[in-house]
Structure 1
Amino acid sequence: MLSKHVLNCRHLGRKSILKYTQAKCHLKDMKCAFSQSKTLTNTGNSAETFPDVTSTNTSDGTSELQRAFEDRAHKNKLPFNEKPFVKNLFSGVLSKEVFTFPQIGHKEDLEVLDRLIKPVEDLFKESVHSGAIDRDAEIPEKIITQLKELGLFGLEVPREYGGLDLSVTESAQFAEVTGADCSISMTLAAHHGLGLKSILLSGNEEQKAKYLPKLATGESIAAFCLSEPDCGSDISSIETTARLTEEGSSKVVLNGTKNWVVNGGIADVFIVIAKGKFKNEQNNTFEKLVALIVEKDFGGVTVSEPHDTLGTRGCNTCTVHFDNTPVPVENSLGELGEGQEFALRILECGRVGVGAAAVSLLKNLLASVVQAAISRTRFGKKLCEFDLIKERVAKITETIYAMESITYHTAGLMDTYEEPDTGLEAAILKIFSSEGVFTCVDECLHILGAEGYLRDQPYEQYLRDARMMAGFPGTNDVTRLFIALRGIQHASKDLQGFFKTLKDPFNSLTQFIKKAKPDFKTLKVEEVVLPIFKGTIKLAWSLYLTMC
């Protein structure tokens, strides 16, 4: 029974979360319904529909399936997330708008995405050999070519630039499939989630038209250059400089060294965070961080040999040197001097992929481990019959469920707003997933015993690959500091009135108590749970309020 249950969960888990994600976390529809009726109900128009499609090709070589997917009408996004969930927790505010229950998308919606994903799944089942990639420390060129042909280098790139125009949620579904091999997953994440995404989010129209078409097809590979030998995750201490060659010049000269650059040895385009010198209206010079698009062909770019890493050995991770590299001024991304905020925003985008990859790794490993637990006998019983083994499997399964939930919920929030304020959600997702996957892989090795310690078995590779997620993109310790800092900054703005009451608490006792103890009693159960559970939960909630 254990095997049947867990293996079915591996298959059906993706299907069930797919149904949830393909509803695209319709927070906009739900919010409208909430404001009108105070309950979260199905509006009847929450799922997109797709025309009937076949697998034949059109005259321009584009499959009708792909055309149907690209031609779908995207829902209008809300302009700005006025109630960021995690930030509001620092102020003692519970934003009930994010408490949504799954909606089932239309059958056609699911079928189209399934049919787009299937060739990718087939490629990984039939042609991708993770053990060989790990042993050779290289992804075969044939596999890279097939990934390009399947469109995986331009998932979220708009159609006019040659991409598939997917949402963050849909892109995360692909990331869960490619996560079957962490080297491939990390290579695609560095290209699409960090490098290409920089131009997609912050580039002007000229920059997008120039770079996105080649990046979307994989003709050009992108890399993101942030860390340095002496600064690591300390963005403010970056020493790479970008200086004008002369007053009024149209080019800057880039000098410095960037460490841990994924795709460094194969990249054609680098997104480089550097320190630039500027002058204000008073003609005073000051330094600010800038983001630059740097082509390898600009000259002065040298790359080290790929690092011999513990895990994700197929990734081309190098040190990149810039020696008087000339860069046109028009290749700066975003506003001059806002390089730090730019870098944080791009790192936020890359963290959703970590959650999807962690889910994929654990699902694949768990399936193999459960088979081993069923087939092995100890003390006259199958391993799967021991309560301790059942407990370990249950712990891994519940972690996978939590990872899926926060990954796709965060992706849904990103899809809902034009300017999503999801930096803290993405940071929490990254920490939970990267540490949870490492812990769960260790649990799996406990079940496998000595077999999990052998190099000729695939299990030890999972442990080495999982370790990478704690440091990409950004280390977990620094990410924790980021969560605390941004949360406190948000709360400090929200609690200015509260601080005034602290000076005279006895004359402001009501306001003091209200801020010190948020009123969670106003939470209505019917707004946050599935309808079938309302009766039971209402009873429990009433008892709780009575005791309070």
Structure 2
Amino acid sequence: MLIFGVTARRQLPFIKHYHQFRYLSSQVKAQTELLFDFKMKLPAPVEKKPKRDAFVKNLFVGIFDHEFLTYPEPQHPERYNEFQKWIEPIQNYIATVNPKEFEDKLNIPPHVIQRFRELDLFGLRIHEDYKGWNLLNAEFMQILEIVGTVPSLGFFFLKHSVPPINIFNNYATVEQKLRYLPKIAKGEAFATVAITENESGPAVNNLNTIAILSKDEGYWILDGEKTFVSNIHQSDIFLVFGHAIQGGTVEKRPETMATFIVDKNTEGVHIIEENIAMAGLKGFSTGRLILKNVKVPKNNMIGNVGDGAKCLVDHFSNSRHYNACLTIPILKNFLNTLTQDIINRKHFDKMLYETEAAQHIFSNITSTIYCIESVLYLTTSTMDIYDDQDLKLETALVEQFCLQECMQRLQECIWLVGPRFCIMTEPYEKMFRDALTIINYDTSLLDTKIYSSLMALQHVGIKFGDDIKKERNILMFPKYMFENIFFKRNSMNFPLNEYLHPSLQECASFCNRSLFKLQEVTKNFLIHEGTNVTQREIQLQRLSDMAALIYTYIAVLGRASRSYCIGNRNSENEIKICIILAYRLQKKVDELADEINDSEFGNGDHLGNQISKVNFDKKNYIVAHPLQRNY
């Protein structure tokens, strides 16, 4: 059945918002023609399955959903084939882009942006109703990986396509979407998010940007200064976070946080021409935005007063994995460049690539790339397959694992490069700078680790709260003590081998042991520390590292098994990578578990804290020179 030239199934978004459209102004009603100009660009995706329980959170309480061990395929064959044909021109164009062209530029070159418009790349995550593509998460991730071959271009594309689009998609009204999203999708306007301030960072209560409602309640008067604003020189639309003041009293609380759409040409908006110099990502513009008595129409507030706090949390918690995606092209470029560089170099009496040291480094970086790909596409494909799936913990673990492993592998490769790394004209130095900037641009990995651990512990507390209370006062519960002594499990046996290729049986056993360690360590940590867990930041980081390693390895197991079963090219090497990682995973997990179980007095953390306090008291290095005498 056809309705207005569009299938009834594709009319659902229109029907959903029908009553909202009735009350729009005549100008906006004219814009609704966009809905009827719709043309399907790719075959419709498969319908999403019902939401499942949070996967990684349940690993902490000994529950394993085997559905996630089957590596997902988010696209049906027809859409997959069409999508692969569509991205060919993008791959071909990116292969012609010269990364050196970006090194001395203040902005992304105009001819590159124009080519992106021609390729229709600016609306990939915008719904078809607003002239976008509405790609699946895994599809967008693949394009981001391709564009990220040129890191500055990839980061520009990421900051344009993810943070502002997420806010518009999740919080903006239909009228606001109609006004801005079609322009953004066509590359006629660019949007960015303005949060960070010189002295506050992203903390809600510390933001100094203030919006005061005018006396006639027709507009907001916005004052403040934002720094570290991405794509500042290209952007036409700024999504500014600040405190909305309605009663005359300045109250900087989450309840007053709001998000405002500010057009670049509005009076009082000043973009500081100086570009913030960064270590890497040359050509990616970052700068300061000053707002002085900027009049923002009342209907340019996204949501209501107070919605800005949730919007800010979602901004930092739902897009963490996108930065991690850019580590894939960086590591691949480094690996390919290094391969070509050392293949003809000699080391004493043999070729350098034949030495065990070089082979170990190349094995590590290949395995790391495989891990990053596996866990990233497992996570994004899960988003595409299950409706409104809770993946906040997964995305945080993905971010910390990918960024941390990327730096460790690059450091190892630098040892192989040797003194040539110090030469500015060599490509290695630039790759390292770009990686360093991407990894540290948005948030601290230390905060990410603590955030993910506390999220998991909260879930464990809900599930095992009563047991933990009894364990902390075991003598008060003799029956529970008796059951715990004689019936306590010393191992865990998920039937992982039933869902994997037979060649991965031993790997499944490694994974089983790691899962038991994770549950045991988590429970013991809560029993020992109680409500003090939030203060044990080093232990929280270790727990988070354990979870990231295990989640990544589960992704690796599922991917390798699927690849070998369907006969992918070089899939036998994927099995080898799995076996290598199983051994290394077990060692790392065991080490982290021992450090957590030992507590701060068994692993030396309390002494380290004391030394740190002395250092801050003295404000410099505290130990005497080794040649100093006191006689």
Fold equivalence (TM over 0.5)? yes
Using the TM superposition, give the Cα deviation of residue 324 of structure 1 relative to its aligned residue in structure 2, in angstroms.
Answer: 1.7
Higher relative contact order (CA 8 A, sep 6+): 1
Q: Deviations over 1:294-321 (max 9, x none)?
A: 2112322111221111101211100111
Gaps of 5+ in 1: 1-65
| Structure-1 residue corresponding to 2:9 | none
Tell me, yes or no, if the aligned pair for 2:124 and 2:135 is still in contact at 8 Å.
yes
| Structure-2 residue corresponding to 1:507 | 479
Using the TM superposition, give the Cα deviation of residue 105 of structure 1 relative to its aligned residue in structure 2, in angstroms.
Answer: 6.6
In structure 2, how many angstroms separate the alpha carbons of the residues matched to 1:544 and 1:257? 48
| Structure-1 residue corresponding to 2:260 | 292
TM-score (norm 1): 0.78
| Structure-2 residue corresponding to 1:529 | 500
Kindly provide the amino acid, as one letter, of the partner of residue 112 in structure 1.
E
Q: Of 222, 228, 234, which residue of structure 2 is paired with 1:254?
A: 222
In structure 2, how many angstroms separate the alpha carbons of the residues matched to 1:80 and 1:327? 39
In structure 2, how many angstroms separate the alpha carbons of the residues matched to 1:174 and 1:464? 23
Corresponding position: 1:97 with 2:67? yes
Using the TM superposition, give the Cα deviation of residue 360 of structure 1 relative to its aligned residue in structure 2, in angstroms.
Answer: 1.1
| Structure-1 residue corresponding to 2:95 | 125
| Structure-1 residue corresponding to 2:271 | 303
Instruction: Note the aligned Cα RMSD (angstroms).
Output: 3.1
Using the TM superposition, give the Cα deviation of residue 278 of structure 1 relative to its aligned residue in structure 2, in angstroms.
Answer: 5.7
Kindly provide the amino acid, as one letter, of the partner of residue 116 in structure 1.
W
In structure 2, how many angstroms separate the alpha carbons of the residues matched to 1:91 and 1:375? 52
Identity of matched residues, % = 26
- Seen in structure 2, the aligned counterparts of structure 1 residues 289 and 488 have a Cα distance that, compared at 3 Å, is farther
Tell me, yes or no, if the aligned pair for 1:312 and 1:465 is still in contact at 8 Å.
yes
**Structure whose alpha-carbon radius of gyration is higher:** 2
In structure 2, how many angstroms separate the alpha carbons of the residues matched to 1:520 and 1:265? 55
Deviation larger for 347-356 or 260-269:
347-356
TM-score (norm 2): 0.69
Tell me, yes or no, if the aligned pair for 2:66 and 2:496 is still in contact at 8 Å.
no
Tell me, yes or no, if the aligned pair for 2:91 and 2:146 is still in contact at 8 Å.
yes
In structure 2, how many angstroms separate the alpha carbons of the residues matched to 1:479 and 1:102? 26
Corresponding position: 1:111 with 2:109? no
Secondary structure, in 3 states, of the residue corresponding to 1:362? helix
Q: Deviations over 1:66-118 (max 9, x none)?
A: 966x342223334545x222333444543443222365976544432222221
- Seen in structure 2, the aligned counterparts of structure 1 residues 385 and 259 have a Cα distance that, compared at 3 Å, is same
| Structure-2 residue corresponding to 1:325 | 294
Gaps of 5+ in 2: 1-37, 516-631
- Seen in structure 2, the aligned counterparts of structure 1 residues 121 and 192 have a Cα distance that, compared at 3 Å, is same
Matches within 5 A, 1:347-358: 347-358=316-327
Corresponding position: 1:187 with 2:159? no
Corresponding position: 1:497 with 2:466? yes
- Seen in structure 2, the aligned counterparts of structure 1 residues 108 and 72 have a Cα distance that, compared at 3 Å, is closer
| Structure-1 residue corresponding to 2:400 | 431
| Structure-1 residue corresponding to 2:103 | 134
Corresponding position: 1:267 with 2:235? yes
| Structure-2 residue corresponding to 1:9 | none
In structure 2, how many angstroms separate the alpha carbons of the residues matched to 1:269 and 1:543? 51
- Seen in structure 2, the aligned counterparts of structure 1 residues 543 and 132 have a Cα distance that, compared at 3 Å, is closer
Tell me, yes or no, if the aligned pair for 1:220 and 1:269 is still in contact at 8 Å.
yes
Kindly provide the amino acid, as one letter, of the partner of residue 193 in structure 1.
V
Corresponding position: 1:276 with 2:244? yes
In structure 2, how many angstroms separate the alpha carbons of the residues matched to 1:106 and 1:118? 19
Kindly provide the amino acid, as one letter, of the partner of residue 111 in structure 1.
N
Using the TM superposition, give the Cα deviation of residue 512 of structure 1 relative to its aligned residue in structure 2, in angstroms.
Answer: 6.2
| Structure-2 residue corresponding to 1:399 | 368
Deviation larger for 399-408 or 470-479:
470-479
Secondary structure, in 3 states, of the residue corresponding to 2:326? helix
| Structure-1 residue corresponding to 2:24 | none
| Structure-2 residue corresponding to 1:85 | 55
In structure 1, how many angstroms separate the alpha carbons of the residues matched to 2:282 and 2:202? 22
Q: Deviations over 1:441-476 (max 9, x none)?
A: 222222222222221122210000001122233221
Using the TM superposition, give the Cα deviation of residue 185 of structure 1 relative to its aligned residue in structure 2, in angstroms.
Answer: 1.0
- Seen in structure 2, the aligned counterparts of structure 1 residues 538 and 516 have a Cα distance that, compared at 3 Å, is closer
Deviation larger for 497-506 or 377-386:
497-506
Q: Deviations over 1:131-158 (max 9, x none)?
A: 2201334321101111122122111212
Q: Deviations over 1:322-367 (max 9, x none)?
A: 1121222322224531323212222334322222211011112211
| Structure-2 residue corresponding to 1:16 | none
Tell me, yes or no, if the aligned pair for 1:498 and 1:511 is still in contact at 8 Å.
no
Using the TM superposition, give the Cα deviation of residue 398 of structure 1 relative to its aligned residue in structure 2, in angstroms.
Answer: 0.7
Using the TM superposition, give the Cα deviation of residue 488 of structure 1 relative to its aligned residue in structure 2, in angstroms.
Answer: 2.8
In structure 2, how many angstroms separate the alpha carbons of the residues matched to 1:325 and 1:146? 34
Q: Deviations over 1:356-384 (max 9, x none)?
A: 21101111221111111212122132111
| Structure-2 residue corresponding to 1:316 | 285
Q: Of 44, 47, 55, which residue of structure 2 is paired with 1:76?
A: 47
Using the TM superposition, give the Cα deviation of residue 122 of structure 1 relative to its aligned residue in structure 2, in angstroms.
Answer: 1.3
| Structure-2 residue corresponding to 1:336 | 305
Tell me, yes or no, if the aligned pair for 1:194 and 1:223 is still in contact at 8 Å.
yes
Deviation larger for 333-342 or 351-360:
333-342
- Seen in structure 2, the aligned counterparts of structure 1 residues 448 and 542 have a Cα distance that, compared at 3 Å, is closer
Q: Of 130, 144, 152, which residue of structure 2 is paired with 1:175?
A: 144
In structure 1, how many angstroms separate the alpha carbons of the residues matched to 2:214 and 2:157? 35
